[in-house]
Chains A and B, each alone.
Chain A
Amino acid sequence: MLVIVTEELTKRFPRVVALDDLNIEVPAGVVGLVGANGAGKSTLIKILLGLLPATTGRATVLGLDVSTAGTRIREQVGYMPEHDVLPPDVSATELIVHLARMSGLPKTAARERTADTLRHVGLYEERYRAIGGYSTGMRQRVKLAQSLVHDPTLVFLDEPTNGLDPAGRDEMLGLIRRIGTEFGITVLVTSHLLGEIERICDHVIVIDGGRLLHSSSTAAVTGTRQRLLVEVTEGTEQLAELLRRAGATASVSGRLVEVEIRAESTYDLVRDHVAELGVGLVRIEQRHHRIAEIFRPLPATTGEATDVPAT
């Protein structure tokens, strides 16, 4: 089932074209919306919430037209904004009970769901303290909780990992994954980091300059493109040769050997062959994709990938 559909959606501001003839289809599940800053992600979310009129084109959310059914969409959708939006002088509980009522939840339900939701996002005793004293990680959790408190069918999470340290980032990503899988809520999460989106999303949509660059299931992206970079003290050529002979797809790029990851055993294969050569292993790391790589035509095997020529 498609949760969001846009058809030739265009948004022009006086000075800039934020969305340019955008056609996307978002399935249920955890969906990543990736793009550099200014790619049009936030503009798209505002249009989908029915808060900003599109210049031309159409969009539907949960089968409702954004231009006419904004209120009904906002009843069923949660939104976590990118920026800091929390007043410092109230506690998380007070704020979220109030916001739950603003979504139409009766008083008792608002209280119960606030307690439940704050527990799910991992805020416990702190929830009775004023928000002014919270850390960035806690504030992000409060923002996430307010987007879930009315039990939406769909949530828009705009850059939820912004400003978090690596550990906080991992926890937030884990939480987002749980929202999709355990809570059964469709998530549209934006980020400018393809790497973190790949880890938690079933489907990835990449936009750039307001245009669709790429849309496919995550498996289609990662299945063929996960690579390992291996740096050794010497014998780069020999290592690549040995790995190729062992059946791996390996190539030399500069001082590094690039190996395609087929399974967990690929790591063992690399380790064993480096040991066999008797050279020093400087580092092994997973190669991170950059958005620019999506520009390159994907191999024909990724059938469902839709490539749009770069602007």
Chain B
Amino acid sequence: MSLPPSGGGPPASAGLGVIHDIGYRHHEGPRLGRGYIARSMFVASLLGAFGIGRSPKSKVMPMLLLAAMCLPALIIEAVVNGVHLKTQPVAYHRYPMVLQAVVAIFVAAQAPQSVSRDLRFRLTSLYFSRPLHRGDYVLAKFAAMTCALLVLLGLPLTILYGGGLLAKLPSVAETRHYLLGLAGAVLFSLVLAGVGLLIAAFTPRRGLGVAAVIAVLLVSYSAVSVVQGISVSVGRSTLAGYAGVFSPFTLVDGVQVWLLRAEPSTPAGPPGTTGGLLFLAVTAALIAGTYLLLLMRYRKVSVS
């Protein structure tokens, strides 16, 4: 049924500077499998989160945000090295909390660009009529968003670490805190990727997705802060601690605080071991839950 590869065009020596129609050529090479396809989707989505491989205009926002994340770290290290501080003025694990607005804007801008766009323009019809599995699509998008956030959070932490070593701060302690900070960044990335993608997957209109993600991340944080502030001022610090569960940022911060026995970035950290375990369990459930809901969402996407 298929024709042999047609080399039936005129020979190339027929004339210089002339483009010959060499006819239709069949693909004789390999066709790669499921792993390659999922990996390609992951790489394209990760680069896409920073506007690489897309229009120059779409690079502006993510690159500005990445710069906004790194600039404070550079300034801090300039100060640390300039005036010879003995400790890091901002602890590694607190850095994401200090710059959480930038992180939230990044999630709000890039999660809808990653998934809402495919739904809105029905690109999913072209994807799912190919050998790409729906589950692999979700996995690739989730992994790509997580890694993009890890770059966004990890790069300034690495700048802090480099500056700390340069200033000859105690290297064993620095390394330990840096690695723990990175572990915290992984948790932040997983939670924020899950929440951001899930909201975006239910809001095909991009603008709506951006607003919804911002609302969930920042409004929930503000609400939690208010509740915590009031609780602490009336002496209910346990209540203040538990309130942290209700916003993605304070949730992960609580886990860090409990695991690292560190100072919370909020008025109150998770109360005791019970509180710590609860924060950890909610974090794990949130990551797993958003992932499962995404899988269910994409099982329903029809090809048209």
Contact = CB atoms under 8 A, between A and B. Distances in A.
Interface of A: 1, 3, 28, 42, 46, 49, 51-52, 71-72, 74-75, 77, 79, 81-90, 94, 98-99, 101-106, 109, 113, 116, 120, 130, 146, 150-151, 153, 182-186
A182 B37 contact: no
Contacts of B31: 75, 103-105, 150
Contacts of B123: 85-87
Given A1-B1, A51-B129, A102-B126, 14 more contacts: A51-B128, A52-B302, A79-B129, A86-B123, A87-B121, A102-B130, A103-B31, A105-B27, A105-B31, A109-B27, A130-B55, A146-B126, A185-B2, A186-B1
A292 to B, nearest CB: 28
A81 B131 contact: no
Given A83-B304, A102-B127, A104-B32, A183 B24 contact: yes
Contact of A101 (B30, B40, B55, B302): B40
A113 B26 CA distance: 9
A59 B4 CA distance: 29
A188 to B, nearest CB: 14
Contacts of B53: 94
Interface of B: 1-3, 6, 23-27, 29-34, 36-37, 40-41, 44, 53-55, 58, 117-118, 121-123, 125-133, 302-304
A28 B41 CA distance: 33
Nearest to B57: A89
29 contacts: A1-B1, A3-B1, A28-B1, A42-B304, A49-B303, A51-B303, A75-B131, A81-B125, A83-B125, A83-B304, A85-B123, A85-B125, A87-B121, A94-B53, A101-B36, A101-B40, A102-B40, A102-B130, A103-B37, A104-B33, A105-B27, A106-B32, A113-B27, A130-B55, A153-B2, A184-B1, A184-B2, A184-B26, A186-B1
A46 B117 CA distance: 22
B29 A81 contact: no
Main secondary structure, interface of B, reads loop
A130 B57 CA distance: 12
A71 B129 contact: no
A109 B29 contact: yes
Contact of A71 (B26, B54, B131): B131
A120 B24 contact: yes
A22 B283 CA distance: 51
Given A89-B54, A106-B30, A84 B122 contact: yes
A174 B125 CA distance: 26
Nearest to B30: A106
A28 B34 CA distance: 28
A184 B3 contact: yes
Contacts of B132: 102
Question: Lowest 3 A-B CB distances belong to which pairs?
Answer: A184-B3, A151-B27, A79-B129
A301 B303 CA distance: 42
Contacts of B40: 98, 101-102
A116 B302 CA distance: 30
Nearest to B118: A87
Contacts of B33: 104
Nearest to A181: B3
B140 to A, nearest CB: 10
B126 A81 contact: yes
Contacts of A105: 27, 29, 31-32
